[in-house]
Amino acid sequence: MKAFIVYCHPSENSFTSHVRDSFIKGIVDSGNEYILSDLYKMDFKSDMTEQEYLRDANYRNTSDVAADVLAEHEKINSADAIVFIYPVFWTEAPAKLVGWFDRVWSYGFAYGENRTMKVLDKALFLVTAGNTMERLVNFGLLDSMKKVMIGDRLFGRAKESEFVVFPGMSRGLDSREQNFEKNLAAAYEKGKNLF
């Protein structure tokens, strides 16, 4: 089985990069495969062009899809599961990942008549947050994040979805040090038991 990992963080000096590495180790140790799109390392272009906008806005299923978008389509359709690993920025994914959805979830692929995107067996979100879980829940932020990612962006594109948050991981918080290794062990287990 194969996982397609969409990773989005601007710094290798981050807890999120450790989550990525632990998750990948779990995938490999389980005998499964993975493909990785590291959006910052790829310098993935997150802004839609006017041509892309007009194609999708007018529901045109034409062949003029950009090569970098087609490459992501191929990765998705070659995988059994898709995994998103990213930090929370203002209750949202980083702009580069939002732009990835804007461009990759194109008409004729992710939606519309005769769409070519396969329905994946599983979608998993591994999300790092500076806020505590209590704050994320009390202010409705966790529900908002899940609604956007699972309710809107996934919406029937995977048979099963899971949203995992590693909260309280801001530098300087006691919870970061207290939960660092425990959270990485959890990320490893998610990789090892993905399939």
pLDDT in tens, the chain (195 residues): 999 999 999 999 999 999 999 999 999 999 999 999 999 999 999 999 999 999 999 999 999 999 999 999 999 999 999 999 999 999 999 999 999 999 999 999 999 988 999 999 999 999 999 988 899 999 999 999 999 999 999 999 999 999 999 998 888 878 888 999 999 999 999 999 999
E strand or H helix at 17: helix 15-29
Q: Which domains, and CATH codes, for the chain?
A: 2-192 (3.40.50.360)
Distance CA 11, CA 69 (A): 23
Determine whether 106 is exposed, middle or buried from the number of CB atoms within 10 Å of its CB (0-12, 13-18, 19+).
buried
pLDDT tens across 148-194, in order? 999 999 999 999 999 999 998 888 878 888 999 999 999 999 999 99
d(C-alpha 162, C-alpha 149), whole Å = 10
